[in-house]
């Protein structure tokens, strides 16, 4: 895909991986449309990137549809949907809270469904791409990861199904599995000193944009990104 003038909707793009992806895509010539649930953070991101956006919770179908409609109107269509919005909470089996687990599922799975489903006519028309941001938690479990890993394992399986369904329409469906990235994903401080040995959000943005820039005759179905040596000396 030629990134110049590509029309890219990035969910969860007011901070972190989503913001870094939108920033790099715009730097490479794309039109980008931002999204977030926190209006203040979203407006700040829109100002910094000089890009349009829409405040919406993609886990709610009506809001996801409104988001897609706003993106379509602002950009004149949609070529790429980057489904980045997601969150998690560590819970052991003893601590497992069904309400929290369902809320994670609503964003991490239904949010991806709602946004992509509403964009599907645009993607078929443009022969575009879908990028689902999973995690290495989609590949293996860890203590306390039951709710989050279950959502990301499900996202990986769902992505494989969509890939099979949409290849006849020339739509490429990619899955990106970041390892631990230094963001405020689990509710930590948004501003903190970064460890130079661990992954930055910009590293994942580079992987996403690089995969999208491959000629449309082929695509990278899935890629994982690990820090080379994140371990303490």
Q: Is 148 a catalytic residue?
A: yes
How far is 136 from 129, CA to CA, in rounded Å? 21
The three-state DSSP-derived secondary structure of 165-188 is HHHHHCCEEEEEEECCECCCCCCC
Longest dimension (CA), the chain: 51
Give phi and psi for 157, each to the nearest 5: -65, -40
**Torsional sign, CA 227, 229, 231, 233:** negative
Catalytic residue, from 19, 96, 142, 148: name it.
148
How far is 19 from 13, CA to CA, in rounded Å? 4
Q: How many CA atoms lie within 13 A of 98 on its CB side?
A: 0
Beta strands in the chain (DSSP E): 7-10, 31-36, 53-55, 80-83, 129-133, 172-178, 222-225
- Which residues are catalytically annotated? 148
């Amino acid at each position: 895909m030629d990134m110049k003038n590509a029309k890219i909707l990035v969910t969860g793009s007011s901070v972190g991986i989503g913001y870094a992806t939108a920033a790099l895509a715009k730097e490479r010539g794309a039109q980008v449309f931002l999204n977030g649930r926190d209006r203040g953070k979203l407006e700040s991101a829109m100002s910094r990137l000089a890009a349009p956006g829409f405040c919406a919770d993609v886990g709610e179908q009506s809001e996801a549809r409104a988001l897609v409609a706003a993106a379509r109107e602002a950009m004149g269509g949609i070529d790429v949907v980057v489904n980045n919005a997601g969150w998690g909470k560590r819970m052991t089996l003893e601590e497992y809270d069904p309400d929290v687990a369902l809320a994670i599922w609503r964003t991490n799975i239904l949010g991806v469904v709602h946004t992509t489903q509403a964009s599907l006519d645009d993607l078929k028309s443009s022969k575009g791409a879908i990028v689902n941001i999973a995690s290495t938690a989609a590949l293996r479990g860890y203590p306390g990861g039951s709710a989050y890993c279950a959502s990301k394992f499900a996202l990986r399986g769902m992505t494989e199904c969509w890939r099979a369904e949409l290849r006849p329409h020339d739509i490429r469906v990619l899955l990106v599995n970041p390892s631990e990235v230094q963001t405020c994903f689990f509710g930590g401080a948004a501003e903190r000193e970064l460890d130079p040995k661990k992954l930055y959000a910009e590293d994942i943005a580079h992987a996403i944009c690089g995969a999208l820039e491959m000629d449309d005759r082929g695509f990278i179905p899935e890629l994982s990104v690990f820090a080379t040596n994140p371990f303490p000396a």
